[in-house]
Chain A
Amino acid sequence: MAGMELLSDQGFRIDGRKPNELRRIRFKKGVFRQADGSAYLEQGNTKVLAAVYGPHEIRGSRSKALHDKLLINCQYSMATFSTQDRKRRPRGDRKAQEMTSHLKQTFDAVVLTELYPKVQLDIFVEVLQSDGGNYCASVNAATLALMDAGIPMKDYVIACSGSHLRDTPIVDMNNLEESSGGAEVVMAVLPRCEQIVFLEMNSRLHEDHLSGVMDHVMVGCKDIFNVLNQQVQDELCQKTQLDKLVTTG
């Protein structure tokens, strides 16, 4: 793109954001009635749906059951029309399988799995529109869906990506920034106790910059947490007030 830089001299990114600015986050919990929990989340132009089924009896072969804890089963798929060029398959490719195992690992670390031995929990994530940060949006949506399903967790899990451009750390990358070939650090954290449950880095980044980027990504995660938590609490307050009205007649 001629004349367009990932980070301009004035310090603005390609979509007009400041380096540490997030994209707009909008979400809705409980979008489906059949699933036990569900959530729809938009981070900028990335749109994700997550559904949670369970805990329920193990489906398929019983040998998968874990005798001391909950089995978490994930599936990550992308709608064939979600990307700029049409995808031929919604799932089953290497990228989707990798995402699936990343999600499983992330939620294994945060769900209180020891409370539900010998049963299974399904987390299904569907990317409807992809504009960078698919993993992050998937994790955030799945957290909300788990909350909607009432699954006990240690904390929220919030994921955010970040990079380093022209000596400036940036957070919450979009598709253009991701595909520019620069470094990308993806983190999923428990924002309140600042624990990292997932960390991944693509491409190369100088060791000296790593901690700076990670600090900014952590701040980004906390910002996302504040946005999500604010709305979750507000909805909860509204609901309890409504319930009170009902009980008092």
Chain B
Amino acid sequence: MGDAGLSEAEKTFILHSVQDDFREDGRGNEDFRHMELETSLISNTNGSARVRLANTDVLVGVKVQLTPVDPERPEVGRLEFFIDCSANATPAFEGRGGEELGSEISAMLTRAYAFPGAVDFHSLCVLPGQQCWLLYVDVLLLECGGNLFDAVSIAVKAALFNLKIPNVTMTKDEGGVELDLSDDPFDFKRLDVSGAPIIITVNKIGHYHVVDASEKEEECSLARLMLGVTEKGTITAMRKEGSGSLDPNSISDMMEVNTRFLCLPGI
């Protein structure tokens, strides 16, 4: 992030525009850009979604797979995040170039979803102590235009909302229990995502707090605070990023801005 290559004068311009609460694309400091959201795009997946936030473009596909349960937590299913930074987004991601950013985002998502109410993990368990659903949440970054974390988290929530988990029939025979996946495409259950968190990033530019920063604005921001928040206002993950340091007071101010955005992406 932050490789737009701005000159000092351009940075000052952005700094001033934030001061005046009138950013270079005409938004106020607490306005999001126009967002497009589509679901059910990839028929090879169990659930998929695409979010386009101005120039940021994210595609998410979720695939489900039956796996043996984690012996330490035998009654819940699992979520696994993988972020692929496609070279289509920027040539810097070619080869292994995007892996660092990818693992950063997946770590943040894993942390945000690592609380019991995020999704109904118990409903993902097929046969307690034996088999559960493993949800592979695969994110593909197609274009980076700032505010990646927020866009990714919204796309992930939308894809989980769109997820169709095939129903399983269990038959008992002498060898144990046999699991049968339903072939009928209309025989499925949905996942309750009302508790799933989204990530809201607040950037500190000068003394002001800005949401949904564009790539240029991200370069001007020295520190940003990312929060995973649920619809009810529970904070599930928190991370400070960037080279600058933050005053404890300004952190609480930023959190206030964060939670004000809960109702915004109404998914």
Contacts and interface: CB of A to CB of B under 8 A. Distances in A.
Interface of A: 32-35, 38, 45, 47, 49-51, 53, 59, 73, 75, 77, 79-84, 86, 90, 122, 124, 126, 128-131
A126 B141 CA distance: 11
Contacts of B140: 79-81, 90, 126, 128
13 contacts: A32-B143, A33-B55, A33-B145, A59-B91, A75-B94, A75-B95, A79-B138, A79-B140, A80-B61, A81-B48, A86-B63, A128-B42, A131-B44
B84 A86 contact: no
Nearest to A89: B84
B151 to A, nearest CB: 15
Contact of A34 (B44, B45, B82, B143): B143
Given A80-B61, A128-B42, A86 B136 contact: yes
A86 B61 CA distance: 10
Contact of A35 (B62, B88, B94): B88
B43 interface: yes
Given A32-B143, A34-B90, A81-B48, 16 more contacts: A32-B88, A32-B142, A33-B55, A47-B42, A49-B142, A51-B88, A75-B94, A75-B95, A79-B42, A79-B59, A81-B45, A83-B44, A86-B65, A86-B136, A122-B91, A126-B86
B89 interface: yes
B217 interface: no
Interface string B38-75: 00001111001000000101010111010000000000
Contacts of B45: 81
Contacts of A81: 42, 44-45, 48, 61-63, 136, 138, 140
Contact of B44 (A38, A50, A51, A130): A130
A4 to B, nearest CB: 15
A54 to B, nearest CB: 8
A131 B45 CA distance: 13
A24 to B, nearest CB: 14
B142 A129 contact: no
Contacts of B86: 77, 90, 124, 126
Interface string B135-156: 0101010111100000000000
Contacts of A122: 87, 91, 94
A34 B42 contact: no
A230 B125 CA distance: 52
B43 A45 contact: yes
Given A32-B88, A38-B88, A80 B136 contact: yes
Q: Which 6 A-B pairs have the closest CB atoms?
A: A81-B61, A51-B88, A124-B87, A80-B138, A90-B84, A81-B138
A80 B89 contact: no
A128 B59 contact: yes
A124 B94 contact: yes
Given A32-B57, A33-B55, A86-B138, A80 B88 contact: no
B87 A79 contact: no
Contacts of B142: 32, 49, 126
A81 B88 CA distance: 17
A59 B45 CA distance: 36
Contacts of A124: 86-88, 91, 94
Most buried by B among A35, A45, A130: A35
Contacts of A59: 91
Contact of A126 (B55, B88, B95): B88
Nearest to A175: B44
A174 to B, nearest CB: 13
